Protein backbone atom coordinates (compact mmCIF):
# COMPACT_ATOMS: atom_id res chain seq x y z
CA UNK A 1 0.00 0.00 0.00
CA UNK A 2 2.84 2.38 0.88
CA UNK A 3 4.46 1.71 -2.51
CA UNK A 4 1.21 2.56 -4.27
CA UNK A 5 0.86 5.81 -2.32
CA UNK A 6 4.48 6.72 -3.14
CA UNK A 7 3.92 5.98 -6.83
CA UNK A 8 0.68 7.96 -6.96
CA UNK A 9 1.67 10.98 -4.87
CA UNK A 10 5.40 11.23 -4.15
CA UNK A 11 7.71 9.72 -6.77
CA UNK A 12 8.65 11.73 -9.84
CA UNK A 13 6.69 10.56 -12.86
CA UNK A 14 6.21 11.44 -16.49
CA UNK A 15 3.05 9.33 -16.71
CA UNK A 16 0.22 11.57 -17.91
CA UNK A 17 -2.28 9.29 -16.14
CA UNK A 18 -0.60 9.61 -12.74
CA UNK A 19 -0.07 13.32 -13.30
CA UNK A 20 -3.78 13.67 -14.11
CA UNK A 21 -4.65 11.80 -10.89
CA UNK A 22 -2.34 14.07 -8.91
CA UNK A 23 -3.64 17.12 -10.73
CA UNK A 24 -7.22 16.11 -9.93
CA UNK A 25 -6.33 15.69 -6.25
CA UNK A 26 -4.48 19.02 -6.12
CA UNK A 27 -7.20 20.59 -8.25
CA UNK A 28 -9.78 19.38 -5.75
CA UNK A 29 -7.99 21.24 -2.97
CA UNK A 30 -7.67 24.37 -5.14
CA UNK A 31 -11.31 24.06 -6.23
CA UNK A 32 -12.41 23.79 -2.59
CA UNK A 33 -10.57 27.05 -1.86
CA UNK A 34 -12.11 28.59 -5.00
CA UNK A 35 -15.66 27.50 -4.06
CA UNK A 36 -15.25 28.55 -0.42
CA UNK A 37 -14.10 32.05 -1.32
CA UNK A 38 -16.71 32.39 -4.08
CA UNK A 39 -19.44 31.64 -1.55
CA UNK A 40 -17.81 33.83 1.12
CA UNK A 41 -17.40 36.83 -1.18
CA UNK A 42 -20.83 36.47 -2.81
CA UNK A 43 -23.15 35.40 0.00
CA UNK A 44 -21.38 36.74 3.09
CA UNK A 45 -19.61 39.86 1.75
CA UNK A 46 -22.37 40.54 -0.83
CA UNK A 47 -19.99 41.07 -3.75
CA UNK A 48 -21.44 40.54 -7.26
CA UNK A 49 -20.92 36.88 -8.17
CA UNK A 50 -18.75 37.52 -11.25
CA UNK A 51 -16.38 39.77 -9.30
CA UNK A 52 -16.34 37.19 -6.50
CA UNK A 53 -15.55 34.58 -9.13
CA UNK A 54 -12.48 36.48 -10.33
CA UNK A 55 -11.18 36.96 -6.77
CA UNK A 56 -11.81 33.36 -5.75
CA UNK A 57 -10.32 32.07 -9.02
CA UNK A 58 -7.08 33.94 -8.31
CA UNK A 59 -6.91 32.38 -4.84
CA UNK A 60 -7.58 28.91 -6.28
CA UNK A 61 -5.00 29.46 -9.03
CA UNK A 62 -2.36 30.37 -6.46
CA UNK A 63 -3.13 27.29 -4.35
CA UNK A 64 -3.04 25.16 -7.50
CA UNK A 65 0.32 26.58 -8.63
CA UNK A 66 2.02 25.94 -5.30
CA UNK A 67 0.67 22.40 -4.95
CA UNK A 68 1.32 21.49 -8.61
CA UNK A 69 4.96 22.55 -8.28
CA UNK A 70 5.31 20.31 -5.24
CA UNK A 71 3.27 17.26 -6.25
CA UNK A 72 2.32 17.13 -9.94
CA UNK A 73 4.73 18.62 -12.46
CA UNK A 74 8.11 18.13 -10.85
CA UNK A 75 10.14 19.63 -13.70
CA UNK A 76 12.81 22.08 -12.58
CA UNK A 77 12.69 25.07 -14.90
CA UNK A 78 15.45 27.20 -13.46
CA UNK A 79 13.40 30.39 -13.80
CA UNK A 80 10.46 30.51 -11.41
CA UNK A 81 9.40 34.03 -12.40
CA UNK A 82 9.04 33.20 -16.10
CA UNK A 83 7.31 29.92 -15.25
CA UNK A 84 4.84 31.67 -12.93
CA UNK A 85 4.16 34.26 -15.63
CA UNK A 86 3.37 31.53 -18.18
CA UNK A 87 1.33 29.69 -15.56
CA UNK A 88 -0.53 32.94 -14.92
CA UNK A 89 -1.29 33.39 -18.62
CA UNK A 90 -2.69 29.86 -18.78
CA UNK A 91 -4.67 30.69 -15.65
CA UNK A 92 -5.93 33.93 -17.20
CA UNK A 93 -7.29 32.02 -20.19
CA UNK A 94 -8.87 29.61 -17.71
CA UNK A 95 -10.36 32.58 -15.83
CA UNK A 96 -11.88 33.93 -19.06
CA UNK A 97 -13.41 30.50 -19.78
CA UNK A 98 -14.59 30.18 -16.19
CA UNK A 99 -16.19 33.63 -16.01
CA UNK A 100 -17.78 33.30 -19.45
CA UNK A 101 -19.21 29.90 -18.58
CA UNK A 102 -20.42 31.16 -15.18
CA UNK A 103 -22.19 34.06 -16.88
CA UNK A 104 -23.70 31.82 -19.57
CA UNK A 105 -25.02 29.17 -17.19
CA UNK A 106 -26.21 31.65 -14.56
CA UNK A 107 -27.68 34.42 -16.73
CA UNK A 108 -28.80 32.52 -19.84
CA UNK A 109 -29.80 29.11 -18.50
CA UNK A 110 -30.64 30.47 -15.02
CA UNK A 111 -28.68 27.95 -12.99
CA UNK A 112 -27.77 28.81 -9.41
CA UNK A 113 -24.33 30.46 -9.56
CA UNK A 114 -22.67 27.72 -7.44
CA UNK A 115 -23.99 25.03 -9.80
CA UNK A 116 -22.70 27.06 -12.75
CA UNK A 117 -19.33 27.08 -10.97
CA UNK A 118 -19.30 23.27 -10.79
CA UNK A 119 -19.81 22.98 -14.54
CA UNK A 120 -17.27 25.67 -15.40
CA UNK A 121 -14.71 24.16 -13.00
CA UNK A 122 -14.81 20.77 -14.74
CA UNK A 123 -14.33 22.36 -18.18
CA UNK A 124 -11.54 24.68 -17.00
CA UNK A 125 -9.78 21.80 -15.20
CA UNK A 126 -9.38 20.03 -18.54
CA UNK A 127 -8.03 23.20 -20.20
CA UNK A 128 -5.60 23.96 -17.36
CA UNK A 129 -4.21 20.42 -17.14
CA UNK A 130 -3.72 20.13 -20.91
CA UNK A 131 -2.06 23.52 -21.23
CA UNK A 132 0.22 22.95 -18.24
CA UNK A 133 1.17 19.47 -19.43
CA UNK A 134 2.20 20.92 -22.80
CA UNK A 135 4.11 23.74 -21.05
CA UNK A 136 6.16 21.29 -19.01
CA UNK A 137 6.76 19.02 -22.00
CA UNK A 138 8.21 22.03 -23.86
CA UNK A 139 10.40 22.94 -20.88
CA UNK A 140 11.69 19.36 -20.60
CA UNK A 141 12.37 19.21 -24.34
CA UNK A 142 14.40 22.43 -24.18
CA UNK A 143 16.34 21.16 -21.17
CA UNK A 144 17.24 17.94 -22.97
CA UNK A 145 18.53 19.87 -25.99
CA UNK A 146 21.02 21.83 -23.89
Q: What is the pTM of this model?
A: 0.76
- Alpha-carbon distance of 122 to 88, in angstroms, equals 19
Do 59 and 33 form a contact (C-beta atoms < 8 A)? Answer: yes
Q: Is 120 exposed, middle or buried (0-12, 13-18, 19+ CB in 10 A)?
A: buried
Assigned domain for 101 exists: yes
Assigned domain for 2 exists: no
**Structural domain containing residue 93:** 15-141
Tally the domains of the chain: 1
DSSP type of residue 44: I
Give the pLDDT means over successive 10-residue stretches in the chain (146 positions): 68 73 84 96 97 94 83 63 78 92 97 95 86 77 73
Assigned domain for 41 exists: yes
Q: Report the pLDDT value the prediction gives residue 24, as an integer from 0 to 100.
A: 80
- Alpha-carbon distance of 30 to 18, in angstroms, equals 18
Assigned domain for 6 exists: no
Assigned domain for 1 exists: no
How many Å is the Cα radius of gyration of the chain? 16
Q: Who's near 74: CB < 8 A, 6+ residues apart?
A: 12, 13
Assigned domain for 19 exists: yes
- Alpha-carbon distance of 53 to 38, in angstroms, equals 6
Assigned domain for 8 exists: no
Assigned domain for 146 exists: no
Q: Report the pLDDT value the prediction gives residue 43, as an integer from 0 to 100.
A: 97
Amino acid sequence: MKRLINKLFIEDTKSAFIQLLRYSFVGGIAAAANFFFLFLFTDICRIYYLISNVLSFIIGLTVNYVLCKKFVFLVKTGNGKIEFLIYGVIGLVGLLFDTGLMYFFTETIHFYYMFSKVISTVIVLLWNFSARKVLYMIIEYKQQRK
